[in-house]
Chains A and B, each alone.
Chain A
């Protein structure tokens, strides 16, 4: 399916910024059916959107999602030992595959992971003996007969309740969580260590990767992301700040410090600069749905790796090559440290990632075509088709092009998600969430 035939449009775009009250969106994730979309923000809140049931069948307007549940997942804490606040910002959300009527997700801040149960309640008990309907206690002497409370239908209520709290296992900041295909375990990764948990057990976890050097002065590399293989429950990968991805097999050893494979591309000597290492730092790693490929995102590019070949990626896509000549400025204003995520389409044929100026990029692996789109309120009318954008680097600027120096580096799209079964995408700018669907011909 080529990009040309799948142009993205909005349906019934809602102004979702009101719901976020200027909190910064920090993570976006569809559940396994795509019916639910969870977002986490800097204030520790989670907002879950649900696809409008009828809209799923209407070809042009599948992207209608309404708020389903809102709850406070994490609160700010204070680490008295270090005299530092622990941010409540939600770093990652990962859904568990659905087993029954309730939905479960894992959410994490820098230090603590929580398992949340989201369930619907559409009945409530009525007719208590000791309490009035409004909750006030009855005068016991006024009760003359006993009755059995009955369940009566009520308005739908969605409740989120914390079922497990996995804490005190990470000295450093958690950057990733990943649910295993066995649905019983999951991993959590911080800058230097990766732990394996059982979903039922909160008071201990297994350390499976530890890259902390004996002498902290020797530290030169940190873990930036980690993920379990989608099908092989013994396999996981972790990426590093030096641009390498290590694949580990848990059957080989209890502590997977020895990698089974290491995926690393040698540096292009033509592009060597003071910033080479910083821009090679991998900000996200994602397996394809099939599990045959793996995608990495570094500052300027997206690379697709075949798990059978470690020496170099099979595909490389430039996200915003025009920034290469601006690295010094981006270093100065700290943008060079931004961590962009990436995602696969449901059938793995297209990959997507964000950029600056509220641009996001879709890269079609089949045709080799790519497109730059903008997520912005000004440009979008409901049911309008997003027009591709272009960034010009040369002196001559064509009509409808924007110059590199005019880009707004405050407007960055770090988090994007793709519906697992349909061409519906969620794109988060700093404060707003945009949901688009493609136009089927």
Chain B
């Protein structure tokens, strides 16, 4: 299976060039409109998983890229995040399915003992010889994806946003959001509460952390003036 050239699953702000639809048409085998093909588990599932992987990567890339200094379109961000959530839900339910019902396995997967390390699923540019080799890759992929839910949150936190200046988005919500669990670590930084920022700026006290920072800044400022005079 090949992805488009230059697709990185969790890109670090690499700007992808506009590619004409014809180019994409040649490379993308994944434009399958209908998910309801019921020929059997193997081919449509493969296609579906491949597409899901691609869309997941694109989603993250778009969300990350979009944050870098440009004004957020809330509609676009919400749509991207909802798509991401949908994929995540699907991944989670797939992994649950695999874990809960051990008797249900995809044909050809039973002998597959090794669970693919996550690195090979996520960070490699070419995903992936391993998928091609097994008849239905899902089994290995599913278990990998199952772990990925937890991994994804850590990954999202550390790797995706490490070079993004998130100082703008500091708010009292932030600590609780990160602590809220792996289910949705990305949301807070995507659309900070604009009203909160406005209110904080006018010094009405909301959010302990933010007002503390404001007070400290003021204190510093006053100290500076006193020292100079």
Contacts and interface: CB of A to CB of B under 8 A. Distances in A.
Given A217-B187, A273-B33, A329-B31, A281 B79 contact: yes
Contacts of A54: none
A275 interface: yes
B73 interface: yes
Interface residues of B, number: 48
A87 interface: yes
Interface stretch (B110-118, B189-197, B206-214): B189-197
Interface stretch (A2-10, A15-23, A77-85, A288-296): A77-85
Interface in B87-121: 87
Contacts of B149: none
Interface of B: 4, 18-19, 21-22, 24-25, 28, 30-36, 51-52, 54-55, 58, 62, 71, 73-76, 78-79, 81-83, 86-87, 168, 173, 177, 180, 184, 187-188, 191-195, 197-198, 201
B54 A409 contact: no
Given A337-B79, A405-B21, A274 B55 contact: yes
26 contacts: A81-B197, A82-B168, A83-B168, A84-B71, A85-B71, A172-B194, A216-B173, A216-B187, A220-B78, A220-B82, A270-B34, A277-B83, A278-B83, A281-B75, A325-B33, A327-B31, A327-B33, A328-B54, A328-B55, A329-B21, A332-B19, A333-B18, A333-B24, A337-B75, A405-B22, A409-B21
A87 B75 contact: no
Given A81-B201, A82-B168, A405-B21, A270 B193 contact: no
Interface in A192-225: 192, 212, 215-217, 219-222, 224
B22 A406 contact: yes
A217 B22 contact: no
Given A269-B36, A405-B25, A221 B78 contact: yes
A326 interface: yes
Nearest 9 Cβ contacts at the A-B interface: A191-B74, A217-B187, A329-B24, A171-B194, A328-B31, A325-B33, A274-B55, A216-B193, A222-B75
Nearest to B26: A405
B130 to A, nearest CB: 23
Contacts of A150: none
Interface string A303-331: 00000000000000000000011111101
A83 B144 CA distance: 41
B21 A333 contact: yes
A244 to B, nearest CB: 14
Contacts of A326: 21, 25, 31
A217 B195 CA distance: 14
A87 B28 CA distance: 35
